Amino acid sequence: MRFIPVSCEDRESMLRAVGCPNVESLFDSIPDSVRLHGGLDLPDGLSEMEVDARMRGLAGANVAATSLVSFAGAGCYDHYIPAVVDHILRKPEFFTAYTPYQPEVSQGTLQSIYEFQTMVCELTGMDVANASMYDGATAFVEAGLMAARVTRRHRVVVSAAVHPEWRQVLATYAAAGVLEVVTVPTAAGVTDASALTAVLDDSVAALMLASPTFYGTLEDLASMCAAARAVGALAIVAIAPALSAVLEPPSVHGADIVVAEGQPLGNPMSFGGPGIGLFAARDMHLRQMPGRIVGRTVDADGTPAFVLTMQTREQHIRREKATSNICSNHALNALAASVYLSATGVAGLEGVGRACVAKAHYLRERLLATGRFEAPWDTPFAHEFALVSKIHATKLQGSLLGAGYLAGVRAADISGFEPSDLPDIDRTDDLLVFAVTEKRTRAEMDAFVQEVASL
Amino acid sequence: MTEQLAHTPSIAPARGPRQLIFETGSLESRCVEVPALDVPSASMEEMLGGRVRQTALALPHVTEVEIARHYAHLASMNFGVDTGMYPLGSCTMKYNPRLNEDAVRLDGFAGMHPSQPVSTSQGALALMAGLADALAEVSGLPAVTLQPAAGAHGELTAIMVFRAFHTANGDPRTRVIIPDAAHGTNPATVSMCGYEVTTIASDASGGVDMDALRAALDTDVAALMLTNPNTLGLFDPNITEITSAVHAVGALAYCDGANLNAIMGKARPGDMGFDAMHINLHKTFSTPHGGGGPGAGPVCVTEALAAYLPGPVPVRDGDVFALEWPEHSIGRVRGSHGNFGVMVRAYAYILALGGAGLREASEQAVLSANYLKSRLRDAYDVPYDRPCMHEFVLSGARQRRDFGVRTLDIAKRLLDHGVHPPTIYFPLIVDEAIMIEPTETESLADLDRFAEAMLSVAAEAAATPDLLHGAPYTTPVRRLDEVRAVKQPDLRWRPRT
């Protein structure tokens, strides 16, 4: 076995030291009735070369989005990842380390998380950020749970313009009995303000929004956050972090908690995971925040150093009274995000944001000009937009796939989506959401538009 | 004291702290830039409907070489499995095979979008289905969700499934029983599912106290959450009586899979009467811990609970793979399909080891733990002294009583001896606990090196206790002021205004 560096001779000497005749006798405490006598029904182990071939075979049986011209987004985006990012991630001192419980030998992880927390605060405009959560969806739900703790209310109002999967995760957690969820439908691709007024009252813990929305549209955050504040509810806003240099952060409008799926910052799409949940809040709510938090302090010699802190919120101390059961973060993905943001800097991130927004606007105009689509609304959007296909949307996507294109994501293919999310749209079955990142060139988009026109 | 310090090897090059990346580089430093815009464009103001960022944004301004140097420096202040033995109890810090790191980066995996048509995702779905099958075989529980992102997330998923099952039977119930040796995530999970926690004591031999269990069981109980082998590293010999008693009141038995590395191919939780378990791919199946994540916490359940699993799940229909929703699914516990990148690594590991290799890994893990225990039993107290599984718990109570040295001091002094300390102060039921899990991937020489360090520190505790109080001395930074970290929170850098 190439991962067990113990020879037969070593094994014998270890058994002698233990005072056992054989390894089997070490398992005597397992009752015979539950012993697995026949061994596992799994194939024999393979050599590294064979495993490599099997994994390449499986990878080759996929047609990766990155090998196509992809306009798929819907929460997971094909941004350029600078080469330096993966070279840092491959350092074993980072990826083979555990959670930094022994800070004296974990300063690398701890400092990188402190820097990450700073970057998340900067992007979101908030006071404090945690060390990250599992993904955007769970960060969003944890924000709802936090709002319930802060307000001591248990009803949350969520916009139907939020990613349907995120709402589905929210509903799943809520069904466990800790939250009540009220969904507000959309009008013109954003939260319906009048429907919202009807459900906001002083029993509501939080108004939960996304801007950009699942459809790429931009909410009127100023009035939304004000409406939440007026009833004493927290405003929770999910953002698109790759656009943070060009879009005004929700903090400006009074958001209380800002979350995001951080995958676009230096992490590959990887079939949707692992991503990384970004989570930021106001100072005043720090002690109700879920997740790991790193702080700067000093060591015994007075040297500045970093440590996990604010741990009295956490499960290993508070047990059933903890702010969450989470006991980890996505540290390696956070590292990727930190390296990415260091590589882009403000200028590079601005460039990414501008390119995505400009190219998305270009593509939408060109696609509409083909006459194959209708615009469902005229609401401002960022790097993602929805169009209603005049041809059966699945057929259209199928034809374009044959030509080497991922023609967006059909809203109805996303679990949790309901036609009632978009009451002002008749043919939601044919609604496609297109995303454009800085990786798409004008030549690719023009060829795509030509392909659409030829259908 | 200086002489005593001088001979101790350093755990890493003793590099001082590094300035923050925000304080590195010059304002005009750039690393990557985006190509010139190749499409006509209106103003951002116009396109974004007046929502253009006006708020100042401070990010690092560095060149690529400065990034490389910064993170090389940070890496030099870190300890990982590649640095040396990492014997954290209940964490299974085994070696992370390198092929798996390469496999996950193949374009056919890393470049997959989660919403691609299934016709273009057959390899990914086949991998997920193959992994689910293997986990079902190892656990003895036939239905699997790969969606949960971590162990704690898997626990939560399982208790949600239990809740849905009881609710569907018109019998929602109110309480979950947890032994006092359990991980803190167990009670925290129970609270998130709207149940109350009933804690029961362990018996004198470290197992579930059967009388306490029977007294706590009634028809209000939804579940028992049990780690087996438990956090003392002991297999509960009454396991079938325990699960039978739980089932007798209509409750369900949940196995916290943190310690699965002890029993692969030797015994299966499904055969013990458990209804569900989570598996930590980042522990048992060798995927790297990444400094805290990402991991993955798949959940395996009985046929009776299969219909309640989160969806969608990959299914095989002849040679074709598809995604399906279980009939009474609780919904989703996260976006997309789970931590796919972690699944790729775990599947490669299972292919490499095969059934016999997994069994051999558990056998060696158990032998190595017992070997270390035999070497340390005289120098430290062994509160539950019977053959252990893949980990064992010592107590530093003697050192505290006789020399005023706490387990924390012992742990910090181990750093000066060049080894990473074990888990400390857990489980809570052991005074001054020192929880040691060597894993199967340590050589006899490395096990001996760790044992020698533990014995040296025990000797130092008796001879020079103050040496331990001040430790560590040779690490990149010394013991930290954690009180200051809480009292004067400094949780982010702020730009000079």
CB burial class (10 A; 0-12, 13-18, 19+) of residue B41? middle
Give CA–CA dist B357/B336, Å, rounded.
Answer: 32
Tell me how close the Cα of B118 comes to any Cα of chain A, in angstroms.
Answer: 9
Is A280 within the bounds of a domain? yes
A324-383 residues touching B, CB cutoff 8 A? 324-333, 335, 338-339, 341-349, 351-352, 354-355, 357-359, 361-362, 380, 382
SS3 category, B97? coil
Query: Is there a single domain that holds both residue A388 and residue A415?
Result: yes
pLDDT of residue B304: 98
- Mean pLDDT in residue range A27-44: 95
Is A221 within the bounds of a domain? yes
* Res. A318 pLDDT band, cuts 50 70 90: confident
Closest residue in chain B to residue A120, using alpha carbons only: B492
Res. A1: pLDDT tops 70: no
Is A20 within the bounds of a domain? no
CATH code for position A449: 3.90.1150.10
Query: Is there a single domain that holds both residue A215 and residue A255?
Result: yes
Q: Note down the domain range covering A105.
A: 83-338
Give CA–CA dist B132/B142, Å, rounded.
Answer: 9
- Mean pLDDT in residue range B98-113: 98
Domain over B100-353 is classified CATH 3.40.640.10: yes
- Mean pLDDT in residue range B209-228: 97
SS3 category, B448? helix
Partners of A239 in the β-ladder: A260
pLDDT of residue B89: 94
Give CA–CA dist B202/A49, Å, rounded.
Answer: 48
For strand B299-301 and strand B276-278, is the pairing parallel, antiparallel, or unpaired? antiparallel
Average model confidence (pLDDT) for chain B? Answer: 95
CB atoms B103 and A59 under 8 Å? yes
Query: Is there a single domain that holds both residue A305 and residue A366?
Result: no
The two structure tokens encoding residue B11 = 């755990």
B170 touches chain A (CB under 8 A): no
Is A430 within the bounds of a domain? yes
Where do runs of H (alpha helix) occur along A176-289? 193-199, 221-230
Is A28 within the bounds of a domain? no
CB atoms A134 and B59 under 8 Å? no
Distances in Å between the Cα of B219 and the Cα atoms of B126, B198, B289 are: 41, 13, 40
Where do runs of H (alpha helix) occur along B377-497? 397-403, 407-416, 444-463, 465-469, 482-487
CB atoms A58 and B127 under 8 Å? yes
Res. B13: pLDDT tops 70: no
Query: Is there a single domain that holds both residue A228 and residue A361?
Result: no
Half-sphere exposure in the Cβ direction for B155 (13 Å, CA): 30
B331-350 residues touching A, CB cutoff 8 A? 331-342, 344, 347-348, 350
Strands (E) across B93-246 are located at: 143-145, 175-179, 196-200, 221-227
* Res. B29 pLDDT band, cuts 50 70 90: confident
Res. A222: pLDDT tops 80: yes
Residue range A346-357, pLDDT digits in tens? 999 999 999 999
Query: Is there a single domain that holds both residue A442 and residue A405?
Result: yes
pTM over 0.95: yes
Mark which of A295, A320, A338 sits at the end of a domain.
A338
Query: Is there a single domain that holds both residue A294 and residue A145?
Result: yes
pLDDT of residue B3: 42
Query: Is there a single domain that holds both residue A333 and residue A444?
Result: no
Query: Is there a single domain that holds both residue A202 and residue A244?
Result: yes
CB atoms B60 and A341 under 8 Å? yes
Size of interface A-B (CB pairs under 8 A): 723
Amino acid making up residue B142: P
Res. A181: pLDDT tops 70: yes
Q: What DSSP character marks residue B267?
A: B
| Helix then strand then coil, % of chain B, to nearest 5 | 40, 10, 50
pLDDT of residue B15: 63
Give CA–CA dist A246/B474, Å, rounded.
Answer: 46
The two structure tokens encoding residue A323 = 């702010």
Mark which of A282, A306, A338 sits at the end of a domain.
A338
Give CA–CA dist A353/B312, Å, rounded.
Answer: 33
Half-sphere exposure in the Cβ direction for B219 (13 Å, CA): 3
Res. B1: pLDDT tops 50: no
Average model confidence (pLDDT) for chain A? Answer: 96
High-pLDDT (> 90) share of chain B, %: 92
CB atoms A42 and B114 under 8 Å? no
Res. B10: pLDDT tops 50: no
Cβ neighbour number for residue B479 with a 10 Å cutoff = 21
Residue range A357-403, pLDDT digits in tens? 999 999 999 999 999 999 999 999 999 999 999 999 999 999 999 99
CATH number of B356-483: 3.90.1150.10
B65-84 residues touching A, CB cutoff 8 A? 67-68, 70-72, 74-83
Nearest to B18 by CA among B79, B59, B71: B71
End-to-end CA distance of chain A: 56
Beta-carbon contacts of A393 under 8 Å, excluding residues fewer than 6 positions away, are A410, A429, A430, A431, A432
Is A18 within the bounds of a domain? no
SS3 category, A18? helix
**B407-416 vs B444-463: helix axis angle to the nearest 10?**
120
Amino acid making up residue B454: M
Nearest to A119 by CA among A242, A271, A226, A248: A242
Res. B4: pLDDT tops 50: no
Give CA–CA dist B187/A316, Å, rounded.
Answer: 10
Residues of B in contact with A303 (CB under 8 A): 16-17, 477-478
CATH code for position A164: 3.40.640.10
- Is A345 within 8 Å of B60 (Cβ atoms)? yes
CB atoms A104 and B415 under 8 Å? yes
Domain count, chain A: 2
Residues of B in contact with A22 (CB under 8 A): none
Phi, psi of A209 (to 5 degrees): -130, 165
Residues of A in contact with B421 (CB under 8 A): 102
Nearest to A411 by CA among A171, A138, A217: A217
The two structure tokens encoding residue A143 = 């924000």
Query: Is there a single domain that holds both residue A259 and residue A359?
Result: no
Query: Is there a single domain that holds both residue A281 and residue A349?
Result: no
Give CA–CA dist B356/B97, Å, rounded.
Answer: 18
Q: What is the largest CA-CA distance in chain B?
A: 79
pLDDT of residue B495: 87
Residue range B343-402, pLDDT digits in tens? 999 999 999 999 999 999 999 999 999 999 999 999 999 999 999 999 999 999 999 999
List, edge to edge, every strand of the sheet that includes A409-410.
Answer: A373-374, A384-389, A431-435, A409-410
Give CA–CA dist B347/A205, Å, rounded.
Answer: 42
CB atoms B111 and A269 under 8 Å? yes
Phi, psi of A315 (to 5 degrees): -65, -35
Distances in Å between the Cα of A292 and the Cα atoms of A101, A312, B443 are: 11, 11, 33
Query: Domain map of chain B by residue range?
Result: 18-76, 100-353, 356-483
Q: What DSSP character marks residue B220?
A: T
- Is B426 within 8 Å of B233 (Cβ atoms)? no
CB atoms A172 and B332 under 8 Å? yes
Residue range A401-434, pLDDT digits in tens? 999 999 999 999 999 999 999 999 999 999 999 9
CB atoms A172 and B333 under 8 Å? yes
High-pLDDT (> 70) share of chain A, %: 100
pLDDT of residue B28: 84
Give CA–CA dist B471/B5, Å, rounded.
Answer: 10
Is A239 within the bounds of a domain? yes
User: Does the ipTM surpass 0.95?
Assistant: yes
What kind and span of H or E run contains A399?
A: helix A393-402
Is A37 within the bounds of a domain? no
For strand B175-179 and strand B221-227, is the pairing parallel, antiparallel, or unpaired? parallel
Choose from B332, B468, B484 for mutation: most chain A CBs within 10 A: B332
- Mean pLDDT in residue range B92-117: 98
Query: Is there a single domain that holds both residue A321 and residue A369?
Result: no
pLDDT of residue B17: 80
Residues of A in contact with B293 (CB under 8 A): 132, 134, 274, 328-333
Beta-carbon contacts of B279 under 8 Å, excluding residues fewer than 6 positions away, are B135, B138, B139, B154, B257, B260, B285, B297, B298, B299, B300
Query: Is there a single domain that holds both residue A374 and residue A399?
Result: yes
* Res. B12 pLDDT band, cuts 50 70 90: very low
Beta-carbon contacts of B199 under 8 Å, excluding residues fewer than 6 positions away, are B177, B178, B179, B180, B187
Q: What is the largest CA-CA distance in chain A?
A: 82
Mark which of A338, A371, A401 sits at the end of a domain.
A338
Res. B198: pLDDT tops 50: yes
SS3 category, B90? coil
